[in-house]
Structure 1
Amino acid sequence: MLYKHKTKTMSTVLYIFAFLLLPALFTLIFVKRTKNSTQNLPPSPPQLPIIGNLHQLQGLFHRCLHDLSKKHGPVLLLHLGSLKIVVISSSEAAEEALKTHDLECCTRPKTHATSTFSRNGRDIGFAPYGEVWRQLRKLSVLNFFSAKKVRSFRYIREEENDLLVKKLKELAQKKSPVDLSQELYCLAGSIIFRSAFAQRFYENKHVDKEKIKEFMFELQKVGSISSSDLFPGGLGCFMDFVSGRHRRLHKLFGEVDTFLNHIIDDHLKNPEEKTNQDRPDIVDSLLNTMHKEEQDESFKLTIDHLKGIIQNIYLAGVDTSAITMIWAMAELVRNPRVMKKAQEEIRTYIRVKQNERIDEEDVDKLQYLKLVIKETLRLHPAAPLLLPRETMSQIKIQGYNIPLKTFLVVNTWSIGRDPKHWEDPEEFIPERFIDSPVDYKGQSFEMLPFGSGRRMCPGMASAIATIELGVLNLLYYFDWRLPEEGKYMDMEEDGNITVVKKVPLELLPTLYH
């Protein structure tokens, strides 16, 4: 009886509490909406106290944002804990943010993960806008990303593709299926290792080649926004500690830092090595700059800056190039008409050329191949959400006021599938780019795989050269199909900052004669 009485009393208290609390919640929501309307902020989905809109983000982040934008508009305000994030999902709004207001929103927001991995903003990707970022970008472009430098690495890309083709020929003769996802990660890794570090990927004992894809994936998971960012203070830190995220973040950072230390130590031990045709490289060049006595007083290059630059080159360069090649090959196998048309163009050209060896300059003669790459970048941008920006002053986008220090996220995945600009946007149709002025170089806001404006990805030329030559070799030397006839190609996505094909791309190569 006593238990029943206590239960009844507790129920009564809860009903009274709910009765008193509900009007307060409704008032809070009404006041918040009234305040939003008077400030002319972007529309926002209904939110809950404390967590805001977090409960509406189940599943892949870019797809959740896409669905919310379809309901609430292409400029959308989300409250994630204490963070205010404006999501941009139309080319018109993206142009205003990345072109009209580029200078007012070209800095990066600071999160726990980006602060850790960028060594407090001492890299190209996450450094706040200012003199340090300008100097780092200038040094990286001069020593690695310039058109002249990218051309100079041509022989590396050709030699590494030759090695991959040789390996695939052996597997084709055995009629053995290939995990093409793994092979393309290794191809991208080999090219970056030689061009940036002057080292052979397969000879470097500090990298687990068999787990490079999984390592990149784990980095993406811990590199996203954490509870510490959403709930500043003790609560967020406690949640990250209990979930193990804090430990995983610092463990991975330690592994990356150890790897970078080995790269730098190898260069310091052999500064005058002339036997390696790939030397000097960007590490040599930056070490020489560090040791110059006449360094500019306004900016002194440190070992943390050096690590930040080469970490960006390695992590971003390998991951995005490999992902794009994987999606391209998956779509080609899934669309035999497109595969056949691309192979006929390539094989006819090589036959007329009367030289079976593929050179990088062959790519310029293969227009349909270029259309295939464009369509892949539209439909499957490796980073579906551009790295976030932060407003440095209040700006106006599509008539809405965007306050100071607001996160800006551009959903390039959503923009590339906008039916206003793309007919049959979900279909893989390279022909849509014939006689089309739309390109991926940052001036056409209908597709932005590399971003636009001051914070546009500096590695675009290098990535495109790697992707085009890689796909060209795969399509010329081999015919490809799924190991099991009639099997469905699973195109499910996975990932956070970058999005890869969830199920590894396992294909059966047949040697073309």
Structure 2
Amino acid sequence: MVRVEQIRKAGPSTPVNLSLILHELTTAMLLRAAWGKTRIKNMPELLAGVRTGIALSSGFSVPDLFQTWRRSVLAAVTGMKRGLESLHKAVDSVFEEVIEERMCARAENVKTGAENVDENLVDVLIGMQEKGDSVFPIDKPRIKAFLLDTLAAGTGTSGSAMEWTMSELIRNPKVMAKLQEQIREAFRGKAVVTEGDMQAADIRYLKLVMKEALRLHPPAPLLVGRESIDVCEVDGYTITAKSRVLVNVWAISQDPKYWDAPEEFKPERFEKGDIDFMGSHYEFTPFGAGRRMCPGISYGLASMELALVSLLYHFDWSLPEGVSELDMGEAPGLGVRRRSPLLLRATPVLPADCAE
């Protein structure tokens, strides 16, 4: 799963750009699940369009400030309409090509009588379109919307969560040593750790480490914006109807009213198991809560677990030579990523060494 051989070739003396590796990994995984391949034509243009869409949806919007004015006029004057049209043009042609390719492949499978063919997300959506659904009809524009949402939500969040987890482990060597000891004990002697191995082992301390990393560095610190249905009052503030509402889960998950030593990385705080991130504890909601809770929790956590285990099982990690402290600065944006790439030295550990 993780490009173990690529990291090994770099050697322990040459720092590897772990940020780049992790984000390429999550993108390749998502593409494989969505349409059965790890790369597609015009991939840079598509990802650039997705980033533009995220920026437009998360940044300041003049039409939101002057709600009594006609939104269509303000959107045209401020350039938002032009930006959205450019985004649509950039991604629509890519999705059109992907859908047509999968429709041709499905037709060929039917023609040849192929059975037990692996289906990806696009195949499932096309199948729903062919069957028809009077309650929730699926057409080509809806399929494209599903694909755009999937890319926007999944290409950066998992990779960002992984790089922040590795960053915290580097800053807390005792935690990393404890986690590596459990991982190498559970999978001793194995050349490759599979998803089946992970499910059988169920390394509990890994889950605690991931929880603590998500508490300190939620992938979407302001979640997805909501819109108020009606006028309401919150703590003396009047929220007008149709207002954009953002929930700062980053601030809540570091509030000293709910957390002891909130700025410290302490996975053991979750040992009792009385707090989870499934939406029932509002002091810890990195994936949101309620009906609009992130639908990709299981997918994201599974990929995160497997990637982290591969990295920590096969390598010992350290800062590059001459670097004494890791830069933990954050880059601005809807999904908070590291300001600088995570450059680390990786010393290979062979499976036989893990068995000693």
Q: TM-score range by the shorter chain?
A: 0.7 to 0.9
Q: Distance in 2 between matches of 1:447 and 1:251?
A: 37
Name the structure 1 match of 2:105.
270
Asked whether the equivalents of residues 334 and 489 of structure 1 are also in contact (C-alpha less than 8 Å), the reply is yes
From 84, 88, 92, the equivalent of 1:253 is 88
Asked whether the equivalents of residues 54 and 152 of structure 2 are also in contact (C-alpha less than 8 Å), the reply is no
Name the structure 2 match of 1:411.
248
Shift of residue 236, structure 1, vs aligned partner: 4.0
Structure 1 position 223 matched with structure 2 position 53: no
From 393, 397, 422, the equivalent of 2:259 is 422
Once the two structures are superposed, residues 134-184 of structure 1 have per-residue CA deviations (whole angstroms, 9 ceiling, x without a partner) of xxxxxxxxxxxxxxxxxxxxxxxxxx33xx1122122236x4322111111
Question: In percent, how many aligned pairs have the same letter?
Answer: 36
Q: Distance in 1 between matches of 2:118 and 2:315?
A: 33
Asked whether the equivalents of residues 198 and 278 of structure 1 are also in contact (C-alpha less than 8 Å), the reply is no
Q: Distance in 1 between matches of 2:50 and 2:326?
A: 23
Once the two structures are superposed, residues 212-231 of structure 1 have per-residue CA deviations (whole angstroms, 9 ceiling, x without a partner) of 5x765544323324223334
Relative to 1, partners in 2 of residues 1:219 and 1:402: Cα closer, same or farther, differing over 3 Å?
closer
Once the two structures are superposed, residues 440-475 of structure 1 have per-residue CA deviations (whole angstroms, 9 ceiling, x without a partner) of 111111111110001111111111011111111111
Name the structure 1 match of 2:5.
166
Asked whether the equivalents of residues 216 and 319 of structure 1 are also in contact (C-alpha less than 8 Å), the reply is no
Q: Distance in 1 between matches of 2:314 and 2:235?
A: 49
Structure 1 position 181 matched with structure 2 position 15: no
5+ residue gaps in structure 2?
A: 351-356
Identify which range, 262-271 or 481-490, moves more after superposition. Answer: 481-490
SS at match of 2:229: coil
Asked whether the equivalents of residues 55 and 333 of structure 2 are also in contact (C-alpha less than 8 Å), the reply is yes
SS at match of 1:480: strand
Q: Which amino acid counterpart does residue 456 of structure 1 have in structure 2? A: M
Relative to 1, partners in 2 of residues 1:374 and 1:277: Cα closer, same or farther, differing over 3 Å?
farther
Q: Which amino acid counterpart does residue 180 of structure 1 have in structure 2? A: L
From 265, 279, 298, the equivalent of 1:442 is 279
Structure 1 position 308 matched with structure 2 position 145: yes
Relative to 1, partners in 2 of residues 1:220 and 1:276: Cα closer, same or farther, differing over 3 Å?
farther
Relative to 1, partners in 2 of residues 1:216 and 1:475: Cα closer, same or farther, differing over 3 Å?
farther
Name the structure 2 match of 1:205.
41
Shift of residue 301, structure 1, vs aligned partner: 1.7
Asked whether the equivalents of residues 230 and 241 of structure 2 are also in contact (C-alpha less than 8 Å), the reply is yes
Relative to 1, partners in 2 of residues 1:340 and 1:215: Cα closer, same or farther, differing over 3 Å?
farther
From 349, 367, 372, the equivalent of 2:186 is 349
Q: How does 1:49-128 map to 2 (within 5 A)?
A: none
Runs of 4+ in 1 over 6 A off after TM superposition: 275-278
Asked whether the equivalents of residues 49 and 91 of structure 2 are also in contact (C-alpha less than 8 Å), the reply is no
Q: Which amino acid counterpart does residue 320 of structure 2 have in structure 1? A: P
Q: Distance in 1 between matches of 2:108 and 2:324?
A: 52
Shift of residue 400, structure 1, vs aligned partner: 6.5
Asked whether the equivalents of residues 481 and 509 of structure 1 are also in contact (C-alpha less than 8 Å), the reply is yes
Name the structure 2 match of 1:289.
128
Name the structure 2 match of 1:53.
none
Shift of residue 349, structure 1, vs aligned partner: 1.7
From 316, 321, 325, the equivalent of 1:484 is 321
5+ residue gaps in structure 1?
A: 1-159
Shift of residue 411, structure 1, vs aligned partner: 0.7
Structure 1 position 328 matched with structure 2 position 165: yes
Asked whether the equivalents of residues 232 and 239 of structure 2 are also in contact (C-alpha less than 8 Å), the reply is yes
Q: Distance in 2 between matches of 1:437 and 1:337?
A: 24
Name the structure 1 match of 2:155.
318
Asked whether the equivalents of residues 384 and 411 of structure 1 are also in contact (C-alpha less than 8 Å), the reply is yes
Relative to 1, partners in 2 of residues 1:435 and 1:228: Cα closer, same or farther, differing over 3 Å?
same
From 193, 200, 224, the equivalent of 1:358 is 193
Q: Distance in 2 between matches of 1:346 and 1:473?
A: 9
Q: How does 1:31-42 map to 2 (within 5 A)?
A: none
Relative to 1, partners in 2 of residues 1:217 and 1:311: Cα closer, same or farther, differing over 3 Å?
closer
Shift of residue 485, structure 1, vs aligned partner: 3.0
Once the two structures are superposed, residues 346-393 of structure 1 have per-residue CA deviations (whole angstroms, 9 ceiling, x without a partner) of 112222xx4342122444521111111000110000100021222324
Q: Distance in 2 between matches of 1:357 and 1:277?
A: 27
Name the structure 2 match of 1:383.
220
Shift of residue 342, structure 1, vs aligned partner: 1.2
Q: Which amino acid counterpart does residue 124 of structure 2 have in structure 1? A: S
SS at match of 1:270: helix
Structure 1 position 279 matched with structure 2 position 128: no
Asked whether the equivalents of residues 195 and 278 of structure 1 are also in contact (C-alpha less than 8 Å), the reply is no
SS at match of 1:507: strand
Structure 1 position 494 matched with structure 2 position 328: no
Q: Distance in 2 between matches of 1:172 and 1:278?
A: 40
Shift of residue 403, structure 1, vs aligned partner: 4.6
Q: Distance in 2 between matches of 1:390 and 1:262?
A: 34
Q: Distance in 2 between matches of 1:504 and 1:441?
A: 30
Q: Distance in 2 between matches of 1:488 and 1:189?
A: 29
Once the two structures are superposed, residues 65-120 of structure 1 have per-residue CA deviations (whole angstroms, 9 ceiling, x without a partner) of xxxxxxxxxxxxxxxxxxxxxxxxxxxxxxxxxxxxxxxxxxxxxxxxxxxxxxxx
Relative to 1, partners in 2 of residues 1:399 and 1:290: Cα closer, same or farther, differing over 3 Å?
same
